[in-house]
């Protein structure tokens, strides 16, 4: 019995001696161990192009020409202007009107806005023919600044078409009705310009009180015939 107990103790001791040694626990990392830092954050900037919802306003350069097209949002305004063409070119003739008082009255448009009531007593004047020796011209100013009216004339040779220089025949005296009247004689025509068959063209010039020209009538052409003798 004692032998059995001794044998069991021997087996237990052998088993204890053959058991593996315990693995030692690893020491913790020292406090000075370097720890890798976390990666640095990267900021990404992204440009986004946004389409405009309205067309941009165009600013013209200083030298740009003004636009000629009318914008669709505006209504164009049409202005109608009436232009009266005056017979200012040579060869354009306005027929005079004979009146009951024996006067020949010209178209008011020939006053060019400065004169009206342009009349004369005859449409022929002669150098030596007593019947047609004189013509009386009359005109009324429309502008109150006209204090004096001068009478101008020129001779145009009907055979050759040559026209001579305009001549100032002097003042037209005023009458009691606000008109300026001038009786012109065939002898007053410059001796160098007297022709056998010619036109006597004429014009009225309005003068202010200070001597300046205020306005002129149109040149009234081919309305009066000038001759040397009776036709």
Task: Please give the Cα distance from 183 to 173 (Å, whole number).
Answer: 10
Q: pLDDT exceeding 90 applies to what percent of the chain? A: 55
| Structural domain spans, the chain | 97-227
pLDDT digits (tens, 9 = 90+) for 56-70: 444 444 434 444 444
Is the pLDDT at 106 greater than 60, yes or no? yes
Q: What is the pLDDT of residue 78?
A: 39
Q: Which two structure tokens, joined as six digits, stand for 72?
A: 């669709």
Give the model's confidence band at 231: pLDDT under 50 very low, under 70 low, under 90 confident, else very high: confident
Is the pLDDT at 99 greater than 50, yes or no? yes
CATH code reported for the domain at 97-227: 2.60.40.10
CA-nearest of 167, 172, 194 to 183 is: 172
Contact (Cβ atoms closer than 8 angstroms) between residue 226 and residue 189: yes
Is the pLDDT at 85 greater than 50, yes or no? no
Cα-flanking dihedrals φ and ψ of residue 55, to 5°? -65, 145
pLDDT digits (tens, 9 = 90+) for 149-196: 999 999 999 999 999 999 999 999 999 999 999 999 999 999 999 999
CA-nearest of 157, 149, 145 to 203 is: 149
**66-101: burial string, b at 16+ Cβ within 10 Å, e else:** eeeeeeeeeeeeeeeeeeeeebeeeeeebebeeeee
Q: What is the pLDDT of residue 81?
A: 36
pTM here is 0.59
Which whole number is the average pLDDT over 135-146? Answer: 97
Is the pLDDT at 8 greater than 90, yes or no? no
Q: What is the pLDDT of residue 39?
A: 47
Give the model's confidence band at 17: pLDDT under 50 very low, under 70 low, under 90 confident, else very high: low
Is the pLDDT at 129 greater than 60, yes or no? yes
Q: Which two structure tokens, joined as six digits, stand for 54?
A: 């309205």
């Amino acid at each position: 019995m004692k032998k059995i107990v001794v044998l069991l103790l021997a087996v237990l001791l052998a088993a204890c001696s053959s058991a593996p040694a315990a693995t030692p626990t690893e020491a913790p990392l020292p406090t000075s161990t370097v720890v890798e830092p976390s990666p640095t954050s990267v900021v990404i900037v992204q440009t986004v192009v946004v389409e405009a919802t309205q067309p941009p306003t165009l600013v013209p350069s200083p030298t740009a020409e003004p636009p000629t097209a009318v914008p669709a949002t505006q209504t164009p305004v049409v202005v109608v202007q009436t232009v009266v063409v005056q017979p200012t070119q040579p060869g354009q003739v306005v027929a005079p009107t004979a009146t009951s008082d024996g006067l020949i009255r010209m178209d008011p448009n020939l006053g060019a806005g400065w004169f009206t009531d342009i009349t004369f007593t005859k449409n022929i004047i002669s150098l030596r023919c007593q019947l047609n020796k004189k013509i009386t011209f009359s005109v009324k100013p429309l502008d109150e600044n006209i204090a004096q009216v001068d009478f101008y004339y020129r001779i145009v040779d009907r055979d050759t078409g040559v026209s001579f220089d305009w001549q100032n025949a002097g003042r037209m005296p005023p009458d009691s009705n606000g008109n300026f009247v001038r009786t012109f004689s065939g002898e007053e025509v410059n001796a160098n310009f007297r022709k056998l068959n010619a036109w006597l063209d004429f014009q009225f010039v309005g003068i202010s009180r200070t001597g300046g020209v205020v306005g002129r009538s149109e040149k009234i052409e081919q309305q009066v015939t000038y001759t040397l003798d009776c036709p």
